[in-house]
């Protein structure tokens, strides 16, 4: 596992208690889908670090978990978890399977923002009633708002008999519009500090690679599907432009754009440098080489198999990364080398 950067390993929020509100999909869901839909998870999910299933689609920690560790704060509790939650450092509204469209379907990004607005209003209402231990207006203003969504929107555009690259291109502006709406709504309700992740290389996921194809002409030098990755790049280009526009419009806001695609693609392309032996093979799945992925027998499904050492794999279940891969992604995020502007993750709670 790659260690955190020196700055992040030693830095702690010096000015105020770090508060983070996260929105997204399974890449940052710390148990929301289990709480919200009653989905049941079991080992080997969570086997590496938690030694139990936590609702994370991973063998251990997610990127958001490592980012919280860098702040020396507890992991984010799912907003929908009724028992044992600790919201002293924020809340996680991310739900596995979420997308931006359609916007009125649970748990689309729009719905997650609506849930946050309810959470915010209830905190302020309770404070007005004299209650203690809740967030006031200042806490919501000083908090960091993290957004990691879009992967499922692109996947959906490629799905079905009428899906494909052109459909993905047509959907991208609509998805960007939803993200813009979310950021502006949060801003209108006091948010001033944002941390936005772009989407990863969709064409390097075993789930996509295992789909039937007539030939290998779409595979790039590293065995990834170029068409899927090109759609992801177009999405990321539009998202980067959006962040630039909003940064110009919202003068007193800081919006940090993070290039997750480049981080993950570098790990894939140079996997041996990072200690991985199987860049495109699923650790937990079914079907054997080259991808060990079968859409009818997923990880935890009847007949699945799981690798002995997940640290040799980038992919946990064909869609989500292993803890070993997530730790490297997080360390690169914390380096600021992939952030625009280049600020450290703890910028929001300094001073």
Contact 113, 100 (CB under 8 A): no
Question: Quick check: is 311 catalytic?
Answer: no
Tokens of 83: 């028992």
Active-site annotation holder among 96, 155, 320, 335 = 320
* Annotation marks residue 118 as catalytic: no
Exactly one of 5, 26, 96, 339 is catalytic; which is it?
26
CA distance 81 to 87: 10
Length of the chain: 351
Beta bridge partners of 24: 148
342 CB neighbour count, 10 Å cutoff: 10
Measured at the CA of 40, the angle between CA 35 and CA 46, to 5 degrees, comes to: 95
Q: Which of 29, 45, 65, 317 is catalytic?
A: 317
Give me the residue label for tokens 């065995």: 223
Rounded Cα distance, 155 and 207, in Å: 10
User: In the annotation, is 259 catalytic?
Assistant: no
What amino acid positions are annotated as catalytic residues?
26, 317, 320
């Amino acid at each position: 596992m790659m260690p955190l950067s020196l700055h992040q390993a030693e830095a702690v929020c010096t000015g105020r208690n770090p508060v983070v509100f996260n929105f997204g999909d399974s890449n940052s869901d710390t148990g929301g889908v289990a709480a919200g839909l009653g989905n049941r998870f079991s080992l080997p999910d969570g086997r590496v670090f938690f030694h139990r299933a936590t609702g994370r689609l991973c063998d251990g920690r997610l990127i958001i978990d490592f980012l919280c560790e860098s702040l020396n704060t507890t992991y984010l509790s799912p907003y929908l978890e009724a028992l044992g939650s600790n919201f002293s450092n924020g809340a996680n509204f991310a739900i596995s399977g979420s997308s931006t469209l359609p916007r009125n379907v649970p748990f689309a990004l729009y719905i997650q923002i609506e849930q946050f607005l309810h959470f915010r209003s209830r905190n302020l209402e309770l404070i007005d009633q004299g209650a203690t231990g809740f967030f006031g207006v200042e806490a919501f203003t000083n908090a960091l708002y993290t957004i990691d969504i879009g992967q499922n929107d692109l996947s959906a555009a490629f799905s079905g008999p009428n899906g494909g690259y052109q459909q993905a291109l047509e959907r991208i502006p609509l998805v960007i519009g939803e993200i813009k709406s979310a950021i502006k709504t949060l801003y209108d309700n006091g948010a001033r500090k944002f941390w936005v992740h772009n989407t990863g290389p969709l064409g390097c996921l075993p789930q996509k690679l295992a789909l039937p194809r007539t030939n290998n002409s779409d595979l790039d030098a590293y065995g990834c599907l170029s068409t899927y990755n090109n759609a992801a790049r177009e999405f990321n280009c539009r998202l980067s432009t959006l962040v630039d526009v909003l940064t110009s419009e919202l003068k007193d806001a800081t919006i940090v754009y993070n290039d997750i695609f480049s981080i993950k693609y570098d790990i894939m392309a140079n996997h041996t440098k990072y200690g991985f032996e199987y860049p495109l093979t699923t650790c937990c799945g079914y079907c054997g080489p080259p991808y060990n992925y079968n859409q009818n027998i997923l990880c935890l499904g009847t007949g699945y198999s799981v690798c002995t050492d997940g640290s040799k794999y980038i992919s946990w279940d064909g869609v989500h990364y292993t803890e070993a891969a997530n730790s490297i992604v997080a360390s690169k995020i914390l380096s600021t080398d992939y952030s625009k502007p280049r600020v450290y993750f703890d910028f929001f709670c300094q001073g």
